[in-house]
Amino acid sequence: MIKVQHTPLDGCLILEPKVFRDHRGYFFESFNQADFQKTTDLDIRFIQDNQSFSNYGTVRGLHYQTGDWAQSKLIRVISGEILDVALDIRTDSKTFGKHFSLVLSAENFLQLYIPKGFAHGFSVLSTSAIIAYKCDRFYNQASETGIRYNDKTLGIDWKIPTKKMIVSDKDLSLPGFENVLK
């Protein structure tokens, strides 16, 4: 059974699985569809699993897909530690333009559920990290977009010194937050 905590952003949830530990190590269910539905009261069917590896200082995001391709995601860390960031871009939401961040790690087993209508990003706080996430829609390049990670109006603290950040050219060229309103 998983424990669910609500974040300040409506619909964005922290999930904590039950971890069984003994002298050999640990065991836990990283995902159980029936348990997820019962505990969250969400009828979400995840259809794609993604995994990424990144080194310390990497900042990825803020990414999202538009229209019918908008994705809900369930993020967890297999190895290392990240700062995971969800940004509410639902223009009709009372928390529009607000973000929530949470440290996810292989040690804390926490997962972050991010519903459709959010942009997502993360920074790697450990030497390296392996991140796994489930999506309820397939990736569609034509609907992919994002918001520049360092947009001043958002004020996101990625917990990485600016000089140590590793950001892709693609993410550096993303538009600012004001683009969401267009």
Q: Is residue 88 within 8 Å of residue 96, measured between CB atoms?
A: yes
**Which of 63, 64, 113, 120 is labelled catalytic?**
63
pLDDT at 182: 58
Confidence band for 101, pLDDT divided at 50, 70 and 90: very high
Confidence of residue 135 (pLDDT cuts 50, 70, 90): very high
- Report pLDDT digits (tens) over 9-48: 999 999 999 999 999 999 998 999 999 999 999 999 999 9
For residue 1, what pLDDT band results from cuts at 50, 70 and 90? confident
| Number of domains comprising the chain | 1
63 is catalytic: yes
Q: Average pLDDT for residues 52-62, to the nearest whole number?
A: 97
Quick one: 6 exposed, middle or buried, by C-beta within 10 A (0-12, 13-18, 19+)? Answer: exposed
Give the domain CATH number at 61: 2.60.120.10
Q: Which residue among the candidates 64, 113, 133, 149 is catalytic per the annotation?
A: 133
If DSSP codes are grouped into helix, strand and coil, which group holds residue 80?
Answer: coil
133 labelled catalytic: yes
> Residue 181: is its pLDDT beyond 70?
no
- Among the listed residues 102, 100, 105, 165, the one whose alpha carbon sits nearest the alpha carbon of residue 131: 105
Cα(125)–Cα(127) distance, integer angstroms: 7
pLDDT per residue over 105-122, tens digit each?
999 999 999 999 999 999
Q: What is the mean pLDDT of the chain?
A: 95
Which residues share a beta bridge with 68? none
Q: What is the residue range of 151's domain? A: 3-181
pTM of the predicted structure, to 2 decimals: 0.94
